[in-house]
Structure 1
Amino acid sequence: MKVQLKIAFFSILFPFVVLANDFEFTPNLQKAYSEVFRLEINACKATLAKEKKDNPFRVYIEDYIEFAEIFNSDDEAYFRRIVDNEDKRLELIEDLDENSPYNRFLRAEIKLHWALLKIRFGHEVKAAYNVVQAAKLLEENQKLFPNFLPNNKPLGALHIIIGSVPDNFRWVLKILGLKGNINEGIAELEKATKDKIWGPEAIYSSLYIQSFVLKFDDKANAILLKFVENQADNLNAYFIGVAISLRSNRAEQASKILKKYPTSPEYLYCPIIEIYRGDIALMKGQYQQASIGYLNYIKNFKGKTFLKDAYLRLFFSNYLAGNDKQAIAYLNKIGVVGNAISETDKSAEKYYETYAKTHILPNKGLLQARLALDGGYNSQALEAIEKIDLKQLNQKEQAEYYFLGGKVLHRTGQPDKAISFYEKSIVLTDKQNWHFGASSALQIGYIFQDKGQKQQAKKYFEKAISYKNHEFKNTIDSKARAAITEMGFYL
């Protein structure tokens, strides 16, 4: 107990000092960490070669390199080949001085690297075990070294993610003993951004998680643009800038960032950027250019993730270009390629299965409107919707029509009219496993949240969560839960 008190007291006085010689974060290793974060992998490997093999920071950065390479390539053979490295590295660091805050921090970081890789290859149970172990290490570290800023980076991310876990997984959290708090997690990530070394990665994590879990508003977007601007030599910054811009319906912004995207061979090649190129073109209605992006992804990517999604988007681009025969050939590919681990691949698979049963092709006007809205092209979406004859749509198409119409009205400053459209979509979705009802309820929740009507907002967020078995349940549930917690309610 006395030893722990001395350590805590020392960390208060000197919060940025590494407390043991075992954990010597040399300037050269700090350089290597910056290089791997920028995805300059070859330069990082050369920098590491100058350091002792048993230095824990070298061990951690080597793990980071493998994580980055495997996560980008989806190379399962590579993953299997080096899978034993996890335990070897953890054991080496654990045996070093436990009186350093870096002992638990680095082990937790490594466990989270491997958790993400295990999820990527379908090992969810093993990944969950990694998350539990990482959370316990970080919470213990926080108690021992409360002023150790880097600890807040992974701990804050975990608190947000765990706090927004959908209903169908919450029983797992109880069994595992995991607790999350979104507001606490946001505050922790904010603290971590103040750290001179780990701060940029904390900003990166905060932005990425916000785009998936929280409502990504103009304030968050301004932070994103500033982050990209301040990290001009960082491929990771450009990558997240494009990804989040697309996810938050800002295709023009994504296009501008992509024009500055570094293509030098010194950086790690990220095949998914080809999908992003295709998405920007597809949302703009440039269908031939979109097809080139998706085909480049399929050609250059050696893994299984996002292949179903890429073929679905190839279907969209060819179908809207009038190449129906080629479009259907791409659609049929979805059933035989890739895996269905990611939410977008699951959605593509469900789309194909519906087509295989019904052989009904989508309404082109609705599809054009949806893609335009995805890119933030509201006037083009409105133009497409206005050309649609509602009487010629089936029930599912009508549900989508009112949902898309609601989004156009919502984005063009007509929230009350938007609510009436969203409500019609909810009625049409009753007892169906389409996402339009859940998506509409989520958007109505946001409208009431913006108006300060918290109880009404909570009612609709809870309604969004109540829908079962639709393709975007995890995402919608996470966003609804995050909004409820953000307003001060507890679930």
Structure 2
Amino acid sequence: MNQSTQQQLLKGQVFRILLGIVWYWLASYGPITQAQTFDFTPGLQNAYTEVTKFKIPHARQLLAKEPSNNGIKIWLDDLADMITVYANESEGDYDNLYDKADERLDMLEDIDPKSPYNRLLRAEIKFHWALVQMKLGHETKAGMNVIGAYKLLEENKKLFPSFTPTNKILGVIHVLIGSVPENYRWITKILGLKGNIDQGVHELELASQDKIFGTEARFYKLFVQSYILPINDRVRNEVADYIQKNPESLSAVFLGVAIAEKDNKSEQAWRILQKIPTTQGYLVLPIFDLYTGDIYLQKGQYDKAEVYYSNYLKKFRGHSFIKDAHYKLFLCNWLGVEDNKAKGYLLQINNVGKKLSESDKAAQKFYETYAKTKSLPNKALIKARFATDGGYYKEALEYINDLSESVCTSTIEKAEYNFRKGKILQNLNDTDQAITLFERSVTLASNLDTHFGASSSLQLGYIFQKRKDNKKAIGWFEKAISYKKHEYKNSIDNKAQAALTELKE
């Protein structure tokens, strides 16, 4: 055997040894997988259905059976993580899982760039985590993620115009852009964000027809319509139909209860709460305890309300509605003539939770007003407020008919009296008297740090919009937006701008 042959044999042996080491390493540490496909398999469709029902534990079991090199699975793993963090508001979970989201975005970017799913799923991950970041108070990061999602989706729509799933999140973003008040539109223009409410709603309607993504798109459509636009009978019927067609969906129950409460229909909310699935495998949502407490508070059943608010505080480890729950526990005891216990809850408001949600901001403001003045509001006004919130208008009118502006002890209380009574009569279809009361509230609240002027202006806009007096409606909606600072500014401005957009088109 010559030297050349010996060298070739030696090289072959070395190669085989190295190959054996590689195979041993692979066997020891598991397979190296690289995402290569977007395949919405039947198993992944089932997992997606479970995720949209908030049946996250069961969805994870299904996802564990699917190949890890599928882009759809990567996206669904992230969606399950995001919903879990959104529900529990754990900063620790957010830090850990958001790092995973970045890794998943990188993996998805490497999959078939010619597929419409490439940009779609990356955009959805960015948007989903923006929702979490907004809830946790990371507004700047949330804004960057929304912009990133918007750009990916707009690009996807140009590349694949007939791919309807693009419209799902893009529709939501366009509605949000369209509800930005005019004095802030320069920001959206600088950022290159374009869109309006009608465009967004239309896109969501298109996405709602998709065979796979339709149920989720419909959830978003109903949610944004109910929280930004006035709720009408058509929307109410759509919500009822959605719940009926998704009988085992916890997300459908959540949607229905949230909208019914927003619509001042607590009896309807109560009926929907009875549809909460009782089988295992769903997310635990303490928010239902908060909603149930609200219903009992609105009915004046303070002992029962206190039980549910206390349950919420025991179960929930996040920060949302913690101040609000303490405020309402104060009310349950104060209105129920347990003054010492009530004061304990009132004083705790300043030391718990965060001021991110509007109801938490309102609770904090209530505490700060008390801390400055050592005075509490009129009990009849409080009772009238919560009865109105629940849709118990006749009971609310009985509470407030025992009062008059002359017995109110401060200008802000007088403004509240006129607003509360105007809202009751508006809902009892006595809009002529409601107009007079709302206008009086606007006058009284003109120089006060309160929402009553803005809230009254918004309702006046709705009244004149319904009467087809667009000129007056526009004037009142613009007036509602003009108030610089109050605890409900975001929601009132968004609603007023949505109405203005509709009127001016």
| TM-score normalised by length of structure 2 | 0.91
CA distance 1:169–1:76, shift in 2 (3 Å): farther
1:470 matched to 2:486? yes
Contact 1:54 1:92 in 2 (8 A): no
What does the per-residue CA deviation read over 1:170-189, in whole Å, with 9 as the maximum and x for residues that have no partner? 45423322223011111111
Match of 1:294?
309
Q: Which runs of 5+ in 1 are unaligned?
A: 1-19
Contact 2:36 2:111 in 1 (8 A): no
1:412 matched to 2:454? no
Match of 1:3?
none
Contact 1:433 1:468 in 2 (8 A): no
Match of 2:451?
435
Find 2:149's aligned residue among 126, 134, 137. Answer: 134
What does the per-residue CA deviation read over 1:219-253, in whole Å, with 9 as the maximum and x for residues that have no partner? 11111111111100101001111111001101000
Report the residue type matching 1:31 in the other structure: N
1:68 matched to 2:79? no
Report the residue type matching 1:279 in the other structure: D
What does the per-residue CA deviation read over 1:130-180, in whole Å, with 9 as the maximum and x for residues that have no partner? 000000011111111111111111011000012112467545423322223
Match of 1:120?
135
Match of 1:108?
123
1:73-222 correspondence to structure 2 within 5 Å: 73-166=88-181, 170-222=185-237
Match of 1:329?
344
Report the residue type matching 2:301 in the other structure: Q
Report the residue type matching 2:192 in the other structure: G
Where 1:82 maps in the other structure, the secondary structure is helix
Contact 1:366 1:385 in 2 (8 A): yes
Contact 1:73 1:271 in 2 (8 A): no
Report the residue type matching 1:365 in the other structure: A
What does the per-residue CA deviation read over 1:293-351, in whole Å, with 9 as the maximum and x for residues that have no partner? 11001001111221011111111111111112211111111100011112221121111
CA distance 1:76–1:263, shift in 2 (3 Å): farther
Displacement over 6 Å in runs of 4+: none
What does the per-residue CA deviation read over 1:402-439, in whole Å, with 9 as the maximum and x for residues that have no partner? 11111111111111221111100011011112111111
| TM-fit CA distance, 1:199 | 0.8
Q: For residues 451 and 153 of structure 2, what CA distance do their matches in structure 1 show? A: 36
| TM-fit CA distance, 1:261 | 1.2
1:263 matched to 2:278? yes
| TM-fit CA distance, 1:83 | 2.2
Q: For residues 500 and 185 of structure 2, what CA distance do their matches in structure 1 show? A: 16
Q: For residues 145 and 339 of structure 1, what CA distance do their matches in structure 2 show? A: 43
Q: For residues 384 and 496 of structure 2, what CA distance do their matches in structure 1 show? A: 24
CA distance 1:167–1:356, shift in 2 (3 Å): farther
| TM-fit CA distance, 1:264 | 2.5
Match of 1:396?
412
Find 1:303's aligned residue among 312, 318, 324. Answer: 318
Report the residue type matching 2:430 in the other structure: Q
Find 1:457's aligned residue among 456, 473, 492. Answer: 473
Q: For residues 194 and 377 of structure 2, what CA distance do their matches in structure 1 show? A: 42
Match of 1:8?
none
Report the residue type matching 2:54 in the other structure: L
1:345 matched to 2:327? no
Contact 1:433 1:467 in 2 (8 A): no
By relative contact order (CA 8 Å, sep 6+), the higher-ranking structure is: 1
Contact 2:133 2:141 in 1 (8 A): yes
Where 1:419 maps in the other structure, the secondary structure is helix
Match of 1:422?
438
Contact 2:37 2:69 in 1 (8 A): no
Find 2:59's aligned residue among 44, 66, 73. Answer: 44
Match of 1:35?
50
- Which stretch shifts more, 325-334 or 174-183? 174-183
Number of residue-to-residue matches in the alignment? 470
1:378 matched to 2:393? yes
Find 1:447's aligned residue among 460, 463, 470. Answer: 463
Structural RMSD (CA): 1.4
Where 2:346 maps in the other structure, the secondary structure is helix
Q: For residues 205 and 330 of structure 2, what CA distance do their matches in structure 1 show? A: 42
Where 1:39 maps in the other structure, the secondary structure is coil
| TM-fit CA distance, 1:68 | 1.1
Q: For residues 152 and 396 of structure 1, what CA distance do their matches in structure 2 show? A: 45
Report the residue type matching 2:69 in the other structure: D
What does the per-residue CA deviation read over 1:268-317, in whole Å, with 9 as the maximum and x for residues that have no partner? 10111110010111111111111111100100111122101111111111
1:233 matched to 2:242? no
